[in-house]
Structure 1
């Protein structure tokens, strides 16, 4: 069974990974798990409190097919958990890594975005991290997948969900139809 782990921090952005986890779990029977720093409950930017049975510090990437990092203001704060070793280990083990919105800050700090095409919340958004991947940045509303890493800006949860599902080998006609329904509300085609 495919298993994904989503990392949530205090102030996580509710909308960014909710669709991915709901579609993966409800429609594709993917096992979804969640980890938080210290295993403590965290409250989202929208006020939703989530309790986790998993402690971020005890996560072993070998147990998962994908490690997903939800964005939120915590990633730019001095109190942000250092997940660089976890992300580097996941990358070394060939696990899919998903970074959306401010989670791209954690990816840049971990050196994951130095050698792959990627996106975030806007051109120059990651420059303060001192990362070496500026030339590989793509200014797009779509998700960007390269080298087992999926990135997206905070306004692209549908594209992020679709790219992660594709990266897991789960994209099919049903997923295309679902993404098309979301695109249609904006008069766009998928």
Structure 2
């Protein structure tokens, strides 16, 4: 069982998570022998969080419930509240997860939180711009590892800019090996191009019920 923990916090950027969480939870395009995936929301406590889109999320579990092992995945969405000291606990947990071989995925403002904790100083990563990280993180030292791409995968660390949600989702799905390679390629092509033919190609890659 692979558990995907989705961090919830006030002002969470709903759209940045959508591609990844919808596919991992629905399993609609999973291959026949895909690993078993469980998606859980996690918060500092069980208190509700209000997203940027106005939705209220009640976390399934708290930070202390996160299993620190290779079968855990932590998704850290963008938000305007990452600079609040109370979120230091989830970033500390992210460091523990990375050290344990678990997968940590951060997008937009969450990359700032990782950078402030020094977790991006020695690994390839991206964000909303290197100058953005320098502006938001006075002690940031990862300039030589910054990659100017929408999303960057470095083994068990996957980071993305605010415009990289689709590629970020692709790299997360690829890391978890829940799609066949041809399904993942067709899925990405369809959602990035919107072409009808890419949709039919996607459908043709899916396993039959026979």
List gaps (5 residues or longer) in structure 1.
Answer: none
Q: Where does residue 161 of structure 2 map in the other structure?
A: 153
Q: 1:55 to 1:63 in 2, by over 3 A?
A: farther
CA distance in structure 1 between the partners assigned to 2:69 and 2:149 by the alignment = 31
- 1:83–1:110: 8 Å Cα contact kept in structure 2? no
- Is 1:43 the counterpart of 2:50 in the alignment? yes
Count of matched residue pairs: 186
* Equivalent pair of 1:3/1:65 in contact (CA under 8 Å): yes
Taking structure 1 as the reference length, what is the TM-score of the superposition? 0.89
CA distance in 2 between counterparts of 1:118 and 1:168 reads 19
Residues in 1 aligned to 2:103 and 2:174: alpha-carbon distance in whole angstroms:
10
**Aligned mates of 1:8, 1:71 — CA distance in 2:** 10
Separation (CA, whole Å) in 1 of partners of 2:64 and 2:9 = 13
Q: Post-superposition shift, 1:106?
A: 1.6
Structure 2 residue matching 1:170: 3-state secondary structure: coil
Bigger Rg over Cα:
2
1:11 counterpart = 2:19: no
Question: C-alpha distance in 2, partners of 1:57/1:131?
Answer: 28
CA distance in 1, matches of 2:4, 2:87: 22
Match of 1:185 in 2: 194
2:143 corresponds to 1:107: no
In the TM superposition, residue 66 of structure 1 has moved relative to its aligned partner by: 1.0
Q: Is the 8 A contact 2:108 2:162 kept in 1?
A: yes
The answer for the alignment partner of 2:205 in structure 1 is none
